[in-house]
Homo-oligomer: A and B are copies of this chain.
Amino acid sequence: MPRSTPPCPMQALLDLLTGPWTTYILWVLGTAGETRFGALRRAVPGISARLLTVRLRVLEQHGVIARRVESTTPPQVSYALTRRGEELSGILDSLNDVARRWYPPTPAANQRAAHDASVP
């Protein structure tokens, strides 16, 4: 992202949320609860495995999500929101309210109507 970022705590948080899919991932984890890597990947259509991995690593480093490994074969990895993640989720919800008031869902977005309608 930006080459030079102002040393502002706010900016650090925004850099975290900034990448494509990031809030989408948080929204999925918030509504679906703990989710496995593969399911997450299927829930975020279009994302590459590599980028999903990167996003999850960053979110984990910031303590927004928790990674849990079950040592089965094959090992299963699940991700869930932490308390921080839920706190963030609340703010993102209000941001989402604003977004939906400002950019009303277009008729062209029929395919996504189900998704939009399911957003609390």
Chain A residues packing against B (C-beta within 8 Å):
1-14, 17-21, 23-24, 27, 46, 62-63, 84, 87-88, 91-92, 94-96, 98-100, 102-105, 109, 112, 115-116
Contacts and interface: CB of A to CB of B under 8 A. Distances in A.
Contact of A24 (B3, B11, B92, B116): B11
Query: What copy number does this chain have within its complex?
Result: 2
Contacts of A14: 17-18, 23, 95
A103 B17 contact: no
Contact of A12 (B7, B9, B99, B116): B99
Contacts of A91: 91, 94-95, 98
A99 B5 contact: no
A103 B9 contact: yes
Top 9 nearest A-B pairs (CB, nearest first) are A2-B20, A9-B103, A13-B99, A9-B99, A10-B99, A18-B18, A10-B96, A9-B100, A12-B103
